Amino acid sequence: MTARKKKRLRIVLTKSPIGYSERQKRTVRALGLRRMNQAVVQENTPVIRGMIAKVQHLVTVEEVEV
């Protein structure tokens, strides 16, 4: 029996949310990002994908296997 590796997303804040709407700032914060160039690893779920879509101009995303 082979164990399937879960896909996760590595999200990096590449642009400052200063000057953007408060809603986008809160979305970045909810993703776990606080500082520029900070990276977090999140589960690859529809909820997280939707949050990323709303702030895609501020972050970079890559898939990682865990």
CATH classification of the domain holding 18: 3.30.1390.20
Amino acid residing at 55: V
- 62, 14 in Cβ contact below 8 A? no
Angle between helices 46-54 and 22-30 (to 10 degrees): 140
1, part of any domain: no
- 60, 54 in Cβ contact below 8 A? no
26, part of any domain: yes
15, part of any domain: yes
47-56: average pLDDT:
98
User: How many domains would you assign to the chain?
Assistant: 1
Comparing CA positions, the residue from 53, 40, 48 lying closest to residue 12 is: 40
**pLDDT band (50, 70, 90) for residue 43:** very high
47-57: average pLDDT:
98
How open is the CA angle 58-48-64, to the nearest 5 degrees? Answer: 85
Show the domain range for 16.
7-65
pLDDT of residue 2: 60
2, part of any domain: no
pLDDT of residue 66: 78
**pLDDT band (50, 70, 90) for residue 1:** low
